[in-house]
Amino acid sequence: MKINPRLREWVAVDNRGQDVAGTNKYQKTRPKTGRWREIIREGCCSAFELVYTPLDVTGSEFTLTITCDSNDLAVITVTPDVAPTVDVQDVVAALNKKAGYVGKFFVEDGDIHLQLNRKLALNCADAADLAFTVEP
């Protein structure tokens, strides 16, 4: 089935904020009833790649903060499935699972890298200072 590029993809979200399998809808606007989240079909991420060197990766809860010119753009509390975490890979896995809508997280040389999604990147396109932190 070819997807009409003018339609947006939506998925139902349950009370815990998780996607409900098999509920995808393609339409121009958000469905009227229920809780829905838009799925971005195009390439997820922008050219903006941010790097953060974590000091401590052991914990049972982490706070991801994305700042744009010293203003908080997003503050997300992430609880890993396996707690407490023991290495940076555990933290990145939790970030991708629970906060993946802000972009793609990956590890390189012990640092956490974030490729921002396009919508967030456009909000800060003219920002002089764009950064993120992940702290227990």
pLDDT tens track for 24-81: 888 999 999 999 988 876 555 666 778 888 888 788 888 888 888 888 888 888 888 7
Tell me, what's the pLDDT at 82?
75
**What is the pTM for the complete model shown?**
0.62
Share of the chain above pLDDT 90, in %: 9
What is the CB neighbour count within 10 angstroms for residue 99? Answer: 19
Q: Quick one: pLDDT at residue 47?
A: 63
- pLDDT for 36 equals 93
User: Residue 43 contacts by C-beta under 8 Å, 6 or more apart in sequence?
Assistant: 118
**Could you read off the pLDDT of 82-116 as tens digits, one per residue?**
778 778 888 888 888 888 888 888 899 889 998 88
> HSE (CB half, 13 Å, CA atoms) of 80?
23
Phi (first) and psi of residue 31, to 5 degrees: -55, 145
